[in-house]
Structure 1
């Protein structure tokens, strides 16, 4: 019987400890409600500045390794409290074939590519932040965006020229 009480006591301590830690973990989560926090992370990869989309929603314009990109804040309520991000980069004055785009989409993860209405190759990457992610996770997400965008630039765009 003593062993049962000891186990119950240990379990109670663990539940209490987990409950005490929950607010600290929640405080570390990032979402799209504070665009300036995401801007600060983006600045760790190159130049970045806050702007507004035509809709009035926040938008970040940045440049990584000489390549321009945009982070759109999507699913917003009254231009704030956004739930998702859309990373976007396009290249003008280059000819990329539908086959190159299809090959990219077939062999790569974490992005989608297409040819826009102006005939420009585009790469996009969507991120759900609805319930928050850790700062490390969002930083890693931006690092993945950097990899995807620069790989597309180096593998697809020059291949068309």
Structure 2
């Protein structure tokens, strides 16, 4: 089920990406050096029709729980924040977990420079995608990183799921 939904998501993601490639430069908001806040990232995700709620992780740093919809199906993922100081965080990490085939992890990781996959405690596959935002970011950069993560997630489920 998740595979077919995610394949449909690829087409939708690229259509949305093409739309925002032309529209968002006029709407882009620059963020200061030092990183981004959970509220900024959540607002940027909402700007591309994703749901996003801001909470806190066990260390007290922001944690965004997000989802994108394909038809009536919602695909959930999380964004963890690292290097947080004075409310701004220098990097973010997109994360999703799903059931899959761990025997293909080495092959998948070999072909991915910025994303990685591993097996968690319950033999669940975890995909992570890191983004450095310390020297500044903007709305377009955050939205593009979310769209890239969705593409990585689709590829990961296709190969590993």
Aligned-partner Cα distance in 1 for 2:140–2:100: 37
1:15 match: none
1:153/1:62 CA distance change after superposition, 3 Å: same
Matched, 1:96 2:101: yes
Please tell me whether the aligned partners of residues 32 and 73 of structure 1 are also in contact (alpha carbons under 8 angstroms): no
5+ long unaligned stretches in structure 2:
1-28
- TM-score of the pair, normalised by structure 1: 0.70
Tell me the number of residue pairs that the alignment of Structure 1 and Structure 2 aligns: 127
Please tell me whether the aligned partners of residues 83 and 129 of structure 1 are also in contact (alpha carbons under 8 angstroms): yes
- TM-score of the pair, normalised by structure 2: 0.70
Q: 2:152 aligns with which of 137, 148, 158?
A: 148
The Cα shift of 1:28 comes to: 2.3
Matched, 1:28 2:24: no
Bigger relative contact order (CA 8 A; separation at least 6): 2
5+ long unaligned stretches in structure 1:
1-26
The Cα shift of 1:148 comes to: 0.7
1:141/1:95 CA distance change after superposition, 3 Å: closer
Matched, 1:75 2:83: yes
Computing the radius of gyration over CA atoms, which structure comes out larger, 1 or 2?
A: 1
Q: 1:137 aligns with which of 104, 119, 141?
A: 141
Aligned-partner Cα distance in 1 for 2:127–2:100: 14
Matched, 1:86 2:93: yes
Aligned-partner Cα distance in 1 for 2:138–2:116: 24
Higher normalized strand content (fraction of residues): 2
Please tell me whether the aligned partners of residues 92 and 131 of structure 2 are also in contact (alpha carbons under 8 angstroms): yes
Aligned-partner Cα distance in 1 for 2:158–2:75: 11
